[in-house]
Amino acid sequence: MKTKRLTVAQATIEFLQNQFVERDGISNRFFAGCFGIFGHGNVAGIGQALQQYPDLRYFQVRNEQAMVHAAAAYAKIKNRLSAFVCTSSIGPGATNMITGAAAATINRLPVLLLPGDIYAKRNVAPVLQQLERSHSQDISVNDCFKPVSKYWDRINRPEQLITSLPEAMRILTSQADTGAVTVSMPQDVQAEAHDFPVDLFKKRVWHIARPEADRELLSKAIGWIRKSKKPIIIAGGGVIYSGAEKILKQFVNLTGIPVAETFAGKGSLHYNDPHNLGAVGVTGTPGAIAMAGEADLVIGIGTRYSDFTTISKSAFQHPSVSFININITEFDAFKHAALPLVGDARVILENLKRRLKGYKVPASHTRKAHDYNKSWDKTVEKIYHLDHGVPVSQGEVIGAVNEFSGENDIMVSAAGSMPGDLHKLWRTRSTKGFHLEYGYSTMGYEIAGGLGVKMASPDSEVYVMVGDGSYLMLAQEIITSIQEGYKLTIILLDNHGFASIGSLSSSLGSKGFGTHYKFRNKKTKQLDGAVLPVDLAANAASMGAYVIRVEDIKAFRSALTEAKSVDHTTVIYIEVDRNQQVDGYAWWEVAVAEVSKIKSVKKAFHAYQKNKKKQKPYL
């Protein structure tokens, strides 16, 4: 057997740069690069290897959590057919990646994490940043990655790499099982040399299959659809990852079945397609909520049915509602006692379309969907042009960005009050134009995610919409975007606190406690004094961004034009009225205190009990 003498780190990087994927006859290198921050746990290992193998391009970032978010956002834009590696030192560098890993796994997005680890030899233990446990020597903080990773391994001997890396690739390229993959690398083992088989480094192409559903179950599904009178489609992210948007449009044109979209599935249909009811669930449009409530058959395509989608399992109120789930992941396909069509969404929809020729839902059902589409668009138009004055409304800002942006531009957001408003209000014109991280709703994802989006789609203008709460958590990748020449237009909305949780707190009777950025009041002893004098615009400028401060909506629209002419990352700062909110949100189950001395909490608990009666198990 022919061998090649390399360090473990060198062998890892050489292996990774020779991994390719192929779907529908199109092949590409799987890893686009490596994000990393070097420390004593990886500088002499992975760091040295990246310097030696420049084909796997290294990108310097400022925060380990942020680099995982950027990697996940990149993979999402690439429909999971390309990904990034993330490397960190040991200790806090490694554990900083855990939040990003959780978000990637929850959202089914491939990222490869190579955190440094403590010495495998143990001869100098405890090393700097090592967690000691009295009952075991075989544990480190990297064990915390296990519950948030789809595959986890620790390389204690060089030869373990030969089986570990292909297994990591198997998971990363699996449409059903993908997510964060963690291969922990002790710092001494990274630098250790071994005679690796040359075959390990040959170009390998991983085929991304399009499996078909079971024929018998497919026939049953066709029978169910033909018998239904009020079916509805819930389009999830799987529609887009499969590239099934065109066949979905053909399918609904043939059958007349209306479509409602999840956060990940928004963009499955053009916003003005008459079959498109818009957002589904807690943040849904009136039409989507109404038609989901009366549906006798729910066809879920590539959705995992989060509580936001099901309105905490109260969305589907028909007494005999049944489910057909089209999903590449068996786990999701079986949810809600569904008839499971496990396989590729595009292929399954093609089969359904072919075998449902002649079937059409009642005209009244289709007409109702068309009417809802038109009426909601009129509502959106009013919100876009509310003319609220100063401070402006969040809906006006969303409208100005939407109307200014081009068809191939991309909007990025993640947490706070904006995702719900965007889900309801954003007029999607392309399948990738609406980029929300809402599986984990990670505060701080926005700017880092925007960087990953821009890297994946450099010809698109990328508009990052972020509130002050998220901005204060993780804004420093502004520097990385400038360093690497990936221009972002960041819309920074300041409402002086946590507006989303403030509203939720009020709905639960807690009156927004602890959600405003204010000084502590000496009299009340609470955080209800004057507004904190924080200058977020100045902070953005200090990191090298071009900053435009505006107050009214007219100036904001002018700022969008100015921002487009700037050649590097630009921040448009504007204050918004946190009390001017978009109406129409459905109930969402958040537990309320059963007993309280506060009257508003008692009232909220009564409403909570009333809403819970609407819940159905969908078993």
Rounded Cα gap, residues 36 and 10, in angstroms: 16
Structural domain containing residue 358 = 215-370
Rounded Cα gap, residues 32 and 181, in angstroms: 16
Same domain, 291 and 425: no
pLDDT of residue 438: 94
Measured from the Cβ of residue 307, the count of other Cβ atoms closer than 10 Å reads: 15
Same domain, 147 and 95: yes
In the chain, the largest separation of any two C-alpha atoms, in whole Å, equals 79
Instruction: Give the domain-ending residue among 370, 398, 415.
Output: 370
pLDDT of residue 46: 98
Same domain, 190 and 290: no
Same domain, 221 and 157: no
SS3 content of the chain, % helix, strand, coil (to 5): 40, 20, 40
The residue assigned the tokens 């489910």 is 323
DSSP states of 192-226: -EEEEEGGGGS-EEEE---PPPPHHHHHHHHHHHH
Say what the alpha-carbon torsion angle 535, 538, 539, 543 is, to the nearest 10 degrees.
Answer: 170
DSSP states of 491-552: EEEE-SB-HHHHHHHHHTTSTTTT-B-BPPPTTT-SS-SSBP---HHHHHHHTT-EEEE--S
pLDDT of residue 344: 98
Q: What is the CATH number of the domain that holds 264?
A: 3.40.50.1220
Rounded Cα gap, residues 180 and 198, in angstroms: 27
Q: pTM (2 decimals)?
A: 0.97
Same domain, 323 and 422: no
Instruction: Give the domain-ending residue among 339, 370, 401.
Output: 370
CB contact at 8 A, 125 and 143 = no
Specify which residues 85 forms β-bridges with.
Answer: 34, 112
- pLDDT averaged over consecutive 10-residue blocks of the chain (619 residues)? 97 98 98 97 96 97 98 98 97 97 98 95 85 86 97 98 98 98 97 97 98 98 97 98 98 98 98 97 97 98 97 96 98 97 98 95 97 97 95 97 97 95 97 96 97 98 97 97 98 92 84 89 91 95 98 98 98 94 89 92 92 86
pLDDT of residue 243: 98
Same domain, 179 and 247: no
Rounded Cα gap, residues 261 and 280, in angstroms: 5
Nearest CA to 292 out of 590, 586, 603 is that of: 586
pLDDT of residue 619: 66
Residue 363 lies in a domain: yes
Nearest CA to 107 out of 244, 309, 306 is that of: 306
Specify which residues 322 forms β-bridges with.
Answer: 297
Residue 245 lies in a domain: yes
Task: Give how many domains the chain has, as a whole number.
Answer: 3
Q: Give the angle subtended at the CA of 196 by the CAs of 195 and 198, to the nearest 5°.
A: 125
Same domain, 251 and 328: yes
Measured from the Cβ of residue 608, the count of other Cβ atoms closer than 10 Å reads: 19
Query: To which H or E segment does residue 85 belong?
Result: strand 83-88
**What type of residue is 410?**
I
Measured from the Cβ of residue 198, the count of other Cβ atoms closer than 10 Å reads: 11
pLDDT of residue 128: 83
Nearest CA to 452 out of 493, 484, 495, 430 is that of: 484
Instruction: Give the domain-ending residue among 182, 207, 232.
Output: 207
Same domain, 471 and 537: yes
Rounded Cα gap, residues 200 and 216, in angstroms: 41
Nearest CA to 250 out of 224, 269, 234, 271 is that of: 269
Q: How many residues appear in the chain?
A: 619
Residue 601 lies in a domain: no
**What type of residue is 341?**
L
Nearest CA to 205 out of 19, 379, 6 is that of: 19
Q: What is the CATH number of the domain that holds 540?
A: 3.40.50.970
Rounded Cα gap, residues 120 and 184, in angstroms: 11
Nearest CA to 193 out of 166, 155, 159, 154 is that of: 159
Residue 346 lies in a domain: yes
Same domain, 412 and 464: yes
Residue 603 lies in a domain: no
Same domain, 200 and 273: no
CB contact at 8 A, 545 and 570 = yes
Same domain, 324 and 458: no
CB contact at 8 A, 75 and 432 = no
The residue assigned the tokens 């999971």 is 80
Same domain, 51 and 155: yes
Q: How far is CA 581 from CA 105, 181, 388, 467, 574, in A?
A: 32, 39, 11, 14, 16
Rounded Cα gap, residues 136 and 140, in angstroms: 10
Instruction: Please state at what angle helix 345-355 crosses helix 215-227, rounded to 10 degrees.
Output: 60
Residue 512 lies in a domain: no
Residue 320 lies in a domain: yes
Rounded Cα gap, residues 45 and 37, in angstroms: 13
For the record, the structure tokens of 263 come out as 């956060």
